[in-house]
Amino acid sequence: MTADVRVDDPAHPAPLAPLARLAHLRRSPLGHRAEEFEARSVPGPHGVRLREVPYLAQLNLRVDPASPAAARAGRVLGTPLPARAGRVAVTGGVRVLWLGPDEWLVVGPDGAAPAIERSLRQALDDEPGPAGAGASAVPPASVASVVDVSANRTTLELSGPSARSVLEQGCSLDLHPRAFGPGKCVQTTVSKVQVVLDQLDAEPSYRLLVRGSFAQYLADWLLDAMEEYRRGDA
């Protein structure tokens, strides 16, 4: 089993194939509860649905937003990095979430992480730092990094007419359309759990990116909060 797993050697980067062959072994934090989520989702005009979207590619990008490298990273991604707090840029299947004044989370489909990471590293290449170490003799004006953090969080998708109402039971932020909506994201707490909350559309549907070790608790809390909306349709 371990014969294909090689120790990282910078001179001979390990091929991706062995990892891909192990893909059937991976377990998402909530994979075993998919049927339960389906059964406890509430249909109807006041309904709300919960499902896990496992294995999304997530890359943490840090770069000075005023630097040429940030502009190049934007061109590689197909959209400028969102400059304003709590904004999301959408390009193809990739969403670029603002996390901080020099920090973004690039969220893409399962399996896209290596390709996105490679192209971002090339884009950042003349910036000194982890992503472009040694590429330039110029004294560092800024540093940049791109790190694959896909395994850090799993994603819960909460959607349906009552989705906002469910979230509001555990989140003190104003999620009303006058203050929040598609194209916006926040890092906050939902029922005391840190999440990255990203609104996908106006239905509304939301993505909650949550650490794997908190996912069970958050899912339990959401299912409990969804329960009361079943009554109206019974």
Partner 1 sequence: MLLIACPWCGERDETEFHYGGQAHVAYPADPEALTDVEWGAYLFVRDNPKGDFAERWVHTAGCRRWFNVVRHTVTHDISAVYPAGQPRPSQESRPQNEVTA
Q: Where on the chain is the footprint of partner 1 (CB under 8 A)?
A: 85-86, 99-101, 103, 172-173, 186-189, 192, 194
Cβ(50)–Cβ(39) under 8 Å? Answer: no
- Minimum Å gap between C-beta 51 and partner 1 is 25
Nearest CB to partner 1, comparing residues 152 and 188: 188
Residue 42 vs 195, nearer CB to partner 1? 195
First to last CA, the chain: 52
CB of 105 to partner 1, least distance (A): 12
d(CA 106, CA 118): 13
Distances in Å between the Cα of 51 and the Cα atoms of 105, 149, 175, 197 are: 21, 21, 20, 15
Q: Which is nearer to partner 1, 42 or 185 (CB)?
A: 185
Least CB distance to partner 1 at residue 231 (A): 30
Closest distance to partner 1 from the beta carbon of 22 (Å): 33
The tokens of 99 are what?
A: 């996390």
Phi/psi for 62 (5° steps) reads -125, 125
Other Cβ atoms closer than 10 A to 135: 13
Q: Which is nearer to partner 1, 76 or 173 (CB)?
A: 173
Q: Please state, in angstroms and rounded to a whole number, the distance separating the CA atoms of residues 58 and 144.
A: 17
Nearer residue to partner 1 within complex by CB, 102 or 125: 102
DSSP for 102-116? TEEEEEE-TT-HHHH
Residue 186 Cβ vs partner 1, minimum distance, rounded to whole Å: 7
